[in-house]
Amino acid sequence: MRTPREHFRLVVKYTPFHSRTVAANELNLWHRWRDYSVADAYFDVSLEYTALRNTCAVFDISPMTKHRITGPDALAFMNRLVTRDVAKIKPGRVGYAVWCDEQGQVVDDGTIFHLSPGVYRLCSQERQLDWLHTARLGFDVTVVEETEDVAALSLQGPTSCATLCALGLTGIETLTPFGMRTFAFGEAELLVSRTGFTGDLGYELWIDPAHAEALWDALFEAGNLYGIRPLGTHALDIARIEAGYIQAGVDFLPADHAIRADRTRSPFELDLAWLVDFSKPHFTGRRALLAEQSRGSRYRLVRLDVAGNKPATDAYVYDAKRRVVGTVTSAVWSPMSKASIALASVAMPHGAVGTPLWAEIYYQKELKWNRTNVECTVLAGPSYDPPRRKVTPAPMR
Amino acid sequence: MNKADVIVVGAGHNGLTSAAFLAKAGLKVLVLEKNPWIGGAAVSRSLHKDWIYSNCSYVCSLLRPEIFRELELGKHGLHVVPYGGGVTFTRDGDILGNYVDEEVKRREIMRYSARDGDAYLRYSRDVMRQCRLVRSLLMRTPPDPTSWRWRDLTEMRHIGREFAALGPAVLADTIRFHTMSIADYLNEYFESDVVKANLAGSGIIGTALGVQSPGTAYVLLHHYMGDVDGQMGAWGFARGGMGAVSQALASALTSFGGTIKVDAPVAQIVVRGGRVRGVALDNGDEYSAPVVISGLDPKRTFLGLLASGDLDPAIAKRARDFKIRGSSGKLNIALDGLPTFPALGKNNPLAAGDMHFLDSLERYERAYDDWKRGMWSRDPYLDLLIPSLTDPTMAPPGKHFMSVFVQYVPVKVKGQDWTDADREAFKKTVFQQISRYSPDFESLVLHAEVRTPRELEAEVGLTEGNIFQGELTFDQLLFNRPFPGFAQYRGPVKGMYMCGSGTHPGGGVMAAPGANAAREVLLDLKRGNTVPNGWSDD
């Protein structure tokens, strides 16, 4: 039985929170996120960002691609799919993961939710149904996409725990990072995970779309005393670059999109070596990654502290001899460190921690374009990583 | 005034392109056309009052933008208008729409198979990888792989580098791709038969092969490698019909001082002392020029324009063996109003796209089976468009022009020449196919031009009515097009050249053969080059 052909009349779909995000979007700024439109900004990018770092802010992550993997071989299947050891992600836990093609190039990154024994949810940036079905051969698993079946909000910031307590989620403060727990929300079940894309204390809330609007309303009521604000993509982007998180299609090209050779990256080349576990059973890309490990990588992802106050957007990266060695993939002015920071992909052997690189930045002031060459310091880790992100019990403000 | 520096035989789009670049280089160029009109198969004619038909070719995507820009075809009146999407109708009353929006297209495919919706991304990526390779070769003269001349070696090295740049995995795909059938290729990506059928048409258009025949995967590529303003694989209309392409080229040509003479059918290329001296017309008039370029297909060029005494028998045999089988027909229809296609629903944007009516690979293959038996397909493949929904110049307001490409159509009906009764029966078959999906279609028909291979050959001069001037199979591509030894646009006699779609890179209204041929002529004449190089996709 095919779904109705009339779907084409609604080119861009509404997320389950649309009635609420529309009301909150004072600027009426939207952009496309696959099937849906989501807010660029709601009232002021700077103030939204400030709410995220100072109180708490809500981002609608419903368009994120979600797949459910179940069946007797679910663990074995997941372990063959991704580079990390999924056996270590116990029921009730979440793990960040990447998966590769057979050439060891990253197809996508995402989070694995071990919902209950043998039941996984894979959240990702890209659609993976074809890839998962191809990988399913020989495994007794069922793979279904559930993007539309789950509404989700990301609540991030120092008062996010307090807001959830006010919402009545008793004991939420004891939830450890990358843990998850279910609560009753009216007649619905609310799944809460201590996860996010901001590098801050924060949670993601997962619920049946039928209860989405009620959740939004209850959350904003609960957060009223805790400075809750809606958060648009622009403000989120500042936070994720501060946290040093990479984004598919921005900091790396998903391998299944690459038309030109040499455009893709391996986990090693994205500073994700910690996600590759050669001691676990075979996984896709293992042989290629072993070869890369012995041969050496082509590229390195670096987190840069860029001198001066100009964001190094789209900048070429040079070595000390003025040779181009890479490009900036994400750049932003970091309000928390009062520094221009960037993520860049540079050719090996450049970009070792502590070595100098240079960025050629084009910027304009009142329509006049200027160019500047500034020194960059390669950082050992993210430029912003507050202790509250990891502390349990979670702080209340 | 019967003397010129260059004579071009045939005012098709490639002949005009060659002529324009040569005139731009300062040569005195004369184009001779047998018909009272110009354009060859890129032609717009008014056969019903107030209507304009794109009589042969009907959509535009492959026309090289380098040529468009260099000849300033925009200034000369050409406007390529992209059209949106397409649709395959299914026998159970549903559709599979190729919506322009990628997400809507994915949702539509997912109605037939959730997995295929995602697989389409992988499929598009792999086709684009192959497209990039072919696109890099379009505006270049193929090397002769058996030659040790510096230029051929350099060109071989270029191709080698393009191949090497693919990387080992894609290179392996490339080698497979060129020998695969479109059915096998699609089977590697998709599970839904409707999804496969929806994509298969591009693999067989203009080709006397079935979806199961090896080599049809490349034909698909040939239809994907174009673009409209950088939108790869997109197709559009030439505003005013495909004749607008020829008119703009002709306008460019005359602006450079070139001359076009219509009603001037060339009978023969005049050869004396081992080199070209000019041409003789059917009426005996002679025009002299040291260079003659034929825009005709290889069979007509080698076996018609050249006297057999001037041609080595081995070369004549090559020309006789050249595959140029007719497989398609064309209906151009004036409509009193917009026909309804109930499965589309009201105000579906796909009504302005290309419509297809075969919903399984099986039906495609059966359609081909009929052709093999010397009959037109009883359940034919149609590529149906209503250009007047996009281009207001084609028909009066509220009225419509419908262009229907039909496949498969044999060159002879059960071994006998086409009769007018055959043509009427063929028309009836096509009308029935359309009426199955549009009940009011027939009641709106005001006039219909029905073209079988017989008319395409007699009027346009395409041997067997083959729209590509020769099939686009691996054995007839690149340095094998039209056949080994003659892929560099030069004929067997000094001063003789070829510029038609029978040369690299083939048909589809690209104008690249014409441009490449002009470059070779200018090289031989030691004139400054006016032909642009191809643009990079990187």
The pLDDT value recorded for residue B538 is 81
Please state, in angstroms and as integers, the Cα–Cα distance from residue A183 to each residue in A113, A157, A164, following that order.
Answer: 16, 21, 11
Identify whether residues B34 and B179 lie together within a single domain: no
- Which DSSP letter does residue B214 get? T
Please state, in angstroms and as integers, the Cα–Cα distance from residue B291 to each residue in A180, A365, B114, B515, following that order.
Answer: 81, 60, 59, 16
Quick one: which of B125, B130, B92, B87 has its CA closest to B109? B87
Q: Determine, yes or no, domain membership for B58.
A: no
Helices B361-372 and B193-200, interaxial angle, to 10°?
50
Of B431, B460, B489, the position where a domain reaches its end is B460
The pLDDT value recorded for residue B1 is 58
Contact B39, B49 (CB under 8 A): no
Mean pLDDT, residues B513-520 taken together = 98
Contact A216, A190 (CB under 8 A): no
Identify whether residues B196 and B266 lie together within a single domain: no
Min Cα distance A261 → chain B (Å) is 6
Q: Would the CB atoms of B103 and A11 count as touching at under 8 Å?
A: yes
Contact A113, A193 (CB under 8 A): yes
The pLDDT value recorded for residue B194 is 98
Q: CA B517, CA B142: separation in Å to the nearest integer?
A: 11
Give pLDDT < 50 ranges for chain A: none
Identify whether residues B374 and B444 lie together within a single domain: yes
Q: CA B398, CA B140: separation in Å to the nearest integer?
A: 45
ipTM of predicted assembly, 2 dp: 0.93
Q: Would the CB atoms of A8 and B121 count as touching at under 8 Å?
A: no
Q: What CATH code is carried by the domain that includes residue B264?
A: 3.50.50.60
Q: Which amino acid type is present at position A365?
A: K
Please calculate the CA angle B335-B341-B345 and round it to the nearest 5 degrees.
Answer: 130
Q: Would the CB atoms of B111 and A5 count as touching at under 8 Å?
A: yes
Contact B359, B90 (CB under 8 A): yes
Quick one: which of B428, A3, B169, B345 has its CA closest to B420? B428
What is the largest distance, in Å, between two alpha-carbon atoms of chain B? 69
Identify the bridge partners of residue B286 per DSSP, sorted by sequence position.
B280
Identify whether residues B141 and B226 lie together within a single domain: yes
Q: CA A263, CA B100: separation in Å to the nearest integer?
A: 27
The pLDDT value recorded for residue A1 is 66
Q: Determine, yes or no, domain membership for B69.
A: no
Identify the bridge partners of residue B60 per DSSP, sorted by sequence position.
B236
Q: Would the CB atoms of B125 and A257 count as touching at under 8 Å?
A: yes
Q: Is the pLDDT of residue B419 over 90?
A: yes
Please calculate the CA angle A364-A369-A373 and round it to the nearest 5 degrees.
Answer: 90
Q: How far is CA A310 from the centre of its chain?
A: 25
Of B420, B439, B460, the position where a domain reaches its end is B460
Of B439, B460, B481, the position where a domain reaches its end is B460
Contact B474, B335 (CB under 8 A): no
Q: Which parts of A166-273 are beta strand (E)? A: 180-185, 188-193, 202-207, 228-230
Task: Report residue B235's pLDDT band, with 50, 70 and 90 as the boundaries.
Answer: confident
Q: Would the CB atoms of B121 and A256 count as touching at under 8 Å?
A: yes
Q: Determine, yes or no, domain membership for B510.
A: yes
The pLDDT value recorded for residue B160 is 94
Is B95 an interface residue toward A (CB < 8 Å)? Answer: yes
Q: Is the pLDDT of residue B418 over 90?
A: yes
* Domains of chain A with CATH codes: 11-62+150-231 (3.30.1360.120), 255-379 (2.40.30.110)
Dihedral of alpha carbons B36, B37, B42, B43, sign: negative
Mean pLDDT, residues B409-433 taken together = 98
Is B250 an interface residue toward A (CB < 8 Å)? Answer: no
Contact A291, A331 (CB under 8 A): no
Please provide the size of chain B in residues: 538
Domain hosting B443: range is 86-231+328-460
Please provide the size of chain A in residues: 397
Identify whether residues B177 and B91 lie together within a single domain: yes
The pLDDT value recorded for residue B228 is 78
Q: How many domains does chain B have?
A: 2
Q: Determine, yes or no, domain membership for B57.
A: no
Q: Would the CB atoms of A127 and B121 count as touching at under 8 Å?
A: yes
Quick one: which of A184, A248, A237, A205 has its CA closest to A52? A237
Q: Which parts of B378-491 are beta strand (E)? A: 381-385, 400-407, 445-451
Identify whether residues B350 and B213 lie together within a single domain: yes
Is B103 an interface residue toward A (CB < 8 Å)? Answer: yes
Residue B443 DSSP SS3: helix
Quick one: which of A336, A246, A350 has its CA closest to A298? A350
- For residue A36, the chain B residue with the least C-alpha distance is B103
Residue of B107, B115, B125 lying closest to A7 (CB–CB): B107
Over the stretch B149-186, which tens digit does the pLDDT of each residue have?
999 999 999 999 999 989 888 999 998 988 899 999 99
The pLDDT value recorded for residue B443 is 98
Identify whether residues B407 and B351 lie together within a single domain: yes
Cβ contacts of B538 on chain A, cutoff 8 Å: 260
Residue given tokens 């995602």 in the structure block: B118
Quick one: which of B219, B151, B225, B227 has its CA closest to B185? B219
Q: Would the CB atoms of A133 and B121 count as touching at under 8 Å?
A: no
Over the stretch B361-392, which tens digit does the pLDDT of each residue have?
999 999 999 999 999 999 999 999 999 999 99
Mean pLDDT, residues B400-410 taken together = 98
Q: Determine, yes or no, domain membership for B532.
A: no
Quick one: which of B404, B388, B394 has its CA closest to B452? B404
Q: Is the pLDDT of residue B234 over 90?
A: no
Is B457 an interface residue toward A (CB < 8 Å)? Answer: no
Q: Would the CB atoms of B108 and A5 count as touching at under 8 Å?
A: yes
The pLDDT value recorded for residue B231 is 79
Q: Determine, yes or no, domain membership for B75.
A: no
Identify whether residues B269 and B215 lie together within a single domain: no
Residue A187 DSSP SS3: coil
Identify the bridge partners of residue B9 per DSSP, sorted by sequence position.
B32, B294
Contact A182, A192 (CB under 8 A): yes
Min Cα distance B439 → chain A (Å) is 20
The fraction of chain B above a pLDDT of 90, given in percent, is 92
Q: Would the CB atoms of B112 and A3 count as touching at under 8 Å?
A: no
Identify whether residues B335 and B442 lie together within a single domain: yes
Q: Determine, yes or no, domain membership for B62.
A: no
Quick one: which of B487, B461, B42 has its CA closest to B282? B461
The pLDDT value recorded for residue A354 is 87
The pLDDT value recorded for residue B224 is 87
Residue A241 DSSP SS3: helix
Identify whether residues B197 and B311 lie together within a single domain: no
Residue of B94, B118, B345 lying closest to A127 (CB–CB): B118
Q: Determine, yes or no, domain membership for B408.
A: yes
Chosen for mutation from B91, B95, B105, B121 (greatest number of chain A CBs closer than 10 Å) is B121
The pLDDT value recorded for residue A155 is 98
Identify whether residues B395 and B442 lie together within a single domain: yes
Identify whether residues B483 and B440 lie together within a single domain: no
Residue B120 DSSP SS3: helix
Q: Which of residues 321-350 of B touch A (CB under 8 A)?
A: 345, 348-349
Name residues whose C-beta falls within 8 Å of residue B138's C-beta, 6 or more positions apart in sequence.
B64, B225, B505, B510, B512, B534
